[in-house]
Structure 1
Amino acid sequence: MTEIHTENPRTLGRGICIITGASKGFGRALAHEVSHSLKAGSVLLLVARSESLLQELKLELQSFTEEQQIVVRCVAVDLSTREGVHETVMVAKQEAGNEMDHVLLINNAGALGDISQFASFTDLDKVNSYLTLNVSSALVLTAGMLQAFPCRPGLRWSVVNLSSVFALQALPSWVLYCTGKAARKMMFNVLAEEEPNVKVLSYSPGPMDTEMQKDIQRLTGAKYHLFPCQESAAKLMKLLLDNEFPSGTHVDFFTV
């Protein structure tokens, strides 16, 4: 994997970073970026469904993270289930006794869903299944992490919501995707209003070279330039290191 990383004296501190959907695509690129910005004694918690892909990623990170004394832990779970969310929170909570000065939760997991006309969605279970993974799971996971790591003096808390331009604009045949992204944006806006000690960012990563984007082009016939995941991950990392955005803001890849 080609990494886009520049040396920077700023860091995310000694903390725990939880990345969902970490096994491939943007989540995988983020794991590489984040690993370079954590101080010794930090924990990188990688969450995805595929145990084998998570272990591959852990091996990729191992030489650097071992040298920097960063612990990489993998949690292979399905976040669309109650059990998957609970296990993720419980594994993270094991680190709550350590002296961390930063908790960073990156809600990256999600799915494209069915691209169909509005009137085709007559199956309640199908709609609920999509919303469970893409909305409810992110809410319950974030709430669980906030309870596991209560805000206190000296603890920096950051939450990233992987968003999309379609959280802001409607697109025909994309009712599930647009609804999920818009709901997540509002959900994390509420968190930003409620919790002044939690820095919240909704980040739209742009059209990246991922399986999802290839599926979109195949299904819609659209053709546009795809950017490397590492390029977008580096922009998100710059935002987090600069830490100058207002909590609750929505930032697009093209404006960074």
Structure 2
Amino acid sequence: MSSTELTRTDLGRALCIITGASRGFGRTVAREMSRLVKPGSALVLAARSADDLRALKVELAESEAGRAGLVVECVVADLGEVGGLESVVRASEEAFSEHMDHIILFNNAASLGDVSRYTQSFTNMAEVDSYLSLNVSSSLCLTARVLQAFPQRPGVRRTVVNISSLCALQPFRSWVLYCTGKAARDMMFKVLAEEEPDLRVLNYAPGPLDTAMQTEARFRTADPSLRKSYLDMFAQSQLLSCETSCAKLTKLLLEDTYTSGAHVDFYEL
């Protein structure tokens, strides 16, 4: 890799597609990407919350990037439904222009699932299928649709980022849905990296973030030892801000030296 690539300070004229962009880590990623892309870039922000997306769009429009002409498209969609995926892809195709040289997909949308119960209680297939549809199937199908819409072409880089978790690697009691979903997604993108050598694929685990999902984990987790560990982390101010974690993700993307398909944790950097 050349020294120019190692010292890259921006992500080019990019089309950035970010799921789960209305809150938490996804919202922070959107803000950071707006600062890292060159003029002539576009962000496609997908989430279920219309009000939060609109507020973010206004914020970005008033930013330096917005004043420089950054295009921001919001897609209110349930990614667990086919129609939601189609809306994101359609908006992405409309936002793309021929002078763009980088396509970046952030698979961030996810849910914690019911952590108030243990594995043996999950006997309802429809409940499990619904969770996996949003957290696994939608990521696979959206990624496939985006890659089909924007096939390999000279002069255009393509990057796929999966927001992963330590739960993809280690079992957490009473978190069977979340651990299963994260493990499946990690393997999904490892396979993608093997199949598509021109792609840059990253599984990034952002660490324990101070978000609404973390609040849910502290008060709903069935396993007492795990619940206590999260309560202690919060009490001792050990949770990470989304901005702190996103800064390391940004560093990874700019340096671009990670092994494609690798799982990289915040604490490894």
TM-score of the superposition, structure 2-length normalised?
Answer: 0.90
Match of 2:36, SS? coil
Match of 2:217, SS? helix
Looking at structure 2, the residues matched to 203 and 96 of structure 1 have their Cα atoms a distance apart, in angstroms, of 25
Counterpart residue number, 2:4: none
Structure 1: 4+ residue segments shifted above 3 A: none
Looking at structure 2, the residues matched to 99 and 148 of structure 1 have their Cα atoms a distance apart, in angstroms, of 16
What letter matches 2:170 in structure 1? Q
Counterpart residue number, 1:4: none
Counterpart residue number, 2:73: 73
| Alignment deviations for residues 61-94 of structure 1 (CA, whole Å, 9 cap, x no partner) | 1122222221111001111111101111111112
Greater fraction of residues in helix: 2
**Unpaired stretches in structure 1, ≥5 consecutive residues:** 1-7
Counterpart residue number, 1:109: 109
Give how far 1:96 is off: 4.1
What letter matches 2:132 in structure 1? L
Aligned 8 A contact 2:8 2:254 in 1: no
| Alignment deviations for residues 101-154 of structure 1 (CA, whole Å, 9 cap, x no partner) | 000000000000011211100000000000000000000000000011111111
Aligned 8 A contact 1:65 1:71 in 2: no
What letter matches 2:151 in structure 1? P
Q: Is 1:246 paired with 2:248?
A: no
Change (3 A) 1:22 1:219: same
User: Number of residue pairs matched?
Assistant: 249
| Alignment deviations for residues 149-202 of structure 1 (CA, whole Å, 9 cap, x no partner) | 111111100000010001001122111111100000000001000001110000
1:153-164 matched pairs, under 5 angstroms: 153-164=154-165
Counterpart residue number, 2:134: 133
RMSD: 1.2
1:14-33 matched pairs, under 5 angstroms: 14-33=13-32
My pick for the range that moved more, 224-233 or 140-149, is: 224-233
TM-score of the superposition, structure 1-length normalised?
Answer: 0.94
What letter matches 1:71 in structure 2? V
- Which of 243, 257, 263 does residue 230 from structure 1 map onto? 243
Looking at structure 2, the residues matched to 97 and 227 of structure 1 have their Cα atoms a distance apart, in angstroms, of 36
Change (3 A) 1:200 1:23: same
Give the % identical residues: 52
